[in-house]
């Protein structure tokens, strides 16, 4: 677990925000990822919420130099296997179901398991995890909630995701138990649809400069 944790931390520490993106058309994955990497955001979470997601992960993993492709919204062992075969170098789940945790135990690919309560954090901690996703961050209590957890659960580090934007990201990043945040604002759906890759690079660079 230690080596996988180290690998995950190395990925999450690449940047202050991990883009959380939904790909409707796999053809947009490579130019989108290149735009994000050009702006300084190398680790990219592609969520398994569309039929194009696995093809998108494979394309980014195979074709985008500097990108660290990960799979998000992984719900079970079957999806885990598909995501890893596609080239995912890290896996993110919205929660911490037994199927996902069991798949992670059998894999060299690191998992960022989702938690939202102190009990969930402790349960996942018992499985050997010290780095977790806090989701949905804003709806589950936001930065004040994570701040309250920092003392009693001092050994746990988080990547909050859900409702985070450039406006409130610093509230999270200022906490001692937050490594980075996850957010979709750096790759707005409208810009992806339009193919506005320069605009996405600008947003990515802005995030790195203002939050790094």
Could you identify the residue written with the tokens 């990219």?
A: 44
Helix (H) or strand (E) holding 157: strand 157-160
Put simply, whether the predicted model's pTM sits higher than 0.95 gets the answer: yes
Q: Of 45, 58, 206, 209, which is the active-site residue?
A: 45
List residues bridging with 45 in a β-sheet: 20, 70
With b meaning 16 or more CB within 10 Å and e meaning fewer, what string describes 80-103?
bebbbebbbbbbbbbebbeebbeb
4, 42, 58, 133: which one is catalytic? 133
Tokens read off for 78: 């079957």
Q: Is 45 a known active-site residue?
A: yes
Domains along the chain with CATH numbers = 2-206 (3.20.20.70)
pLDDT tens for residues 157-193? 999 999 999 999 999 999 999 999 999 999 999 999 9
The model's pLDDT over 62-102, given as tens digits with 9 standing for 90+, comes to 999 999 999 999 999 999 999 999 999 999 999 999 999 99
Contact 74, 55 (CB under 8 A): no
d(CA 116, CA 95): 8
Q: Average pLDDT over the chain, rounded to whole?
A: 98
H or E element at residue 21:
strand 17-21
Active site residue 133: yes
């Amino acid at each position: 677990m230690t080596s996988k944790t180290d690998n995950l931390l190395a990925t999450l520490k690449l940047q202050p925000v991990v883009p959380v993106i939904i790909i409707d058309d796999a053809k947009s994955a490579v130019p989108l990822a290149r735009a994000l990497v050009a702006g300084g955001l190398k680790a990219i979470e592609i969520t398994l919420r569309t039929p194009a997601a696995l093809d998108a992960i494979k394309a980014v993993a195979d074709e985008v130099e500097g990108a660290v492709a990960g799979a998000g919204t992984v719900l079970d062992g079957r999806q885990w296997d598909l995501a890893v075969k596609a080239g995912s170098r890290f896996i993110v789940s919205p929660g911490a179901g037994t199927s996902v945790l069991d798949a992670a135990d059998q894999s060299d690919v690191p998992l960022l398991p989702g938690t939202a309560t102190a009990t969930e954090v402790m349960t996942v901690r018992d499985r050997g995890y010290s780095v977790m996703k806090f989701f949905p961050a804003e709806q589950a209590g936001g930065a004040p909630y994570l701040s309250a957890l920092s003392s009693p659960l001092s050994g746990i580090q988080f990547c909050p995701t859900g409702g985070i934007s450039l406006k409130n990201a610093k509230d999270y990043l200022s906490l001692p138990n937050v490594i980075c945040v996850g957010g979709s604002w750096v790759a707005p759906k409208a810009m992806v649809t339009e193919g506005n890759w320069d605009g996405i690079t600008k947003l990515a660079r802005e995030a790195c400069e203002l939050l790094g």
